[in-house]
Amino acid sequence: MADLVDTAALTAWLREFARSVAAQKDALTALDAAIGDADHGANLDRGMTAVVAALDAAPPASPAALLKQVGMTLVSKVGGASGPLYGTLFLRMAGPAGDGLDAAGFAAALRAGLEGVVARGKAELGDKTMVDALSPACDALDAALGGGAALPEALQAAVAAGREGRDATVPLVARKGRASYLGERSAGHQDPGATSTVLLLEAAEAALTT
């Protein structure tokens, strides 16, 4: 069944995410320069390069093993805020993953990842963080699948919702992360983490729907 997200599919997803992070590295860093410390692109690129290297070195046997390996790699290679956050996202996804995910299972795993990010970072919707992109994406994914859509269309909806959430961070005053030190001065800038989260969703749409 086309909707089964197996090890190969997840590998493709993460390779695609790594590719687009590398491509968007400078753009992400530029966003972070405006309201943070100009390293988000470098941080994620360092992490995803290591993730791909690990996938090449030892292709994991199961989706759970793969997601765990990805999470641990990010945690131990990235540092900063995004290391624990993206690391936790994948570590939590590993739980439900087992040795294969159907569409609903993938949505559930992604939501588990979101919950992990929130538990770790204590950010709420509107705090101008990656949660502002990931949370609406999870909702859209669930809604679409609940409405009978197949994974491809559902991921399309998730990407659209994620982009909306990302764009909505622009006017916000940051309440979490470095940007929060700027207070009012953080408004008018797009959040780097929400931006990289959209890249993750776009990578899923590209890799999991073919």
Partner 1 sequence: MKKLINDPADVVAQALRGMALAHPELRVDLENRIVVRGDAPVAGKVGIVSGGGAGHEPLHGGFVGPGMLDAACAGEVFTSPVPDQMMAATQAVDGGAGVLHVVKNYTGDVMNFEMAAELVAAESGTEVVAVVTDDDVAVEDSTYTAGRRGVGVTVLLEKIAGAAAEQGRPLAEVADLARKVNAQGRSMGMALTSCTVPAAGTPTFELPEGEMEIGVGIHGEPGRRRVPVAPAREIAAMLVEPVLADRDYTGRQVLAFVNGLGGTPLIELYLMYAEVAAILERSGVTVARSLVGSYMTSLDMAGCSLTLLEVDDELVRLWDAPVRTPGLRWGV
Which residues contact partner 1 by CB under 8 A? 37-39, 42-43, 75-85, 87-88, 120-121, 127, 175-178, 180-183, 185
The candidate with the shortest Cα–Cα distance to 85, out of 205, 4, 191, 160, is: 191
Among 3, 16, 32, 142, binds ligand ADP (CB under 6 A): 32
Residue 10 to residue 68: CA distance in whole angstroms: 12
Residue 194 near which of ligand ADP, partner 1, Mg ion, none (CB within 5-8 Å, type-dependent): ligand ADP
Binding to ligand ADP by CB under 6 A, coded x per residue (else -) over 156-185, reads --------------------xxx-------
Residue 209 to residue 134: CA distance in whole angstroms: 19
Q: Is 92 in the site for ligand ADP (CB under 6 A)?
A: no
Core vs surface per residue 32-49: b (16+ CB within 10 A) or e: bbbbbeebbbbbbbbbbe
Residue 88 to residue 108: CA distance in whole angstroms: 15
Binding to Mg ion by CB under 5 A, coded x per residue (else -) over 43-82, reads -------------------------------------x--
Binding to ligand ADP by CB under 6 A, coded x per residue (else -) over 41-70, reads --x---------------------------
- Taking each continuous run of H as one helix and of E as one strand, the counts in the chain are 8, 0
DSSP for residue 169: T
Torsion of CA 113, 118, 123, 125, to 10 degrees: 60
Q: Is 36 in the site for Mg ion (CB under 5 A)?
A: yes
CA torsion sign, 116 to 51 to 198 to 38?
positive
Among 9, 11, 36, 165, binds ligand ADP (CB under 6 A): 36
Residue 181 near which of Mg ion, ligand ADP, partner 1, none (CB within 5-8 Å, type-dependent): partner 1
Binding to ligand ADP by CB under 6 A, coded x per residue (else -) over 71-90, reads ---------xxx--x-----
Report the nearest approach of Mg ion to the CB of residue 39 (Å): 4
Residues 79, 64, 86, CA angle at the centre, nearest 5°? Answer: 25
Report the nearest approach of ligand ADP to the CB of residue 179 (Å): 7
Among 52, 192, 201, 207, binds ligand ADP (CB under 6 A): 192
Looking up tokens 């590993």 gives 94
Sites for ligand ADP among residues 137-156 (CB under 6 A): none
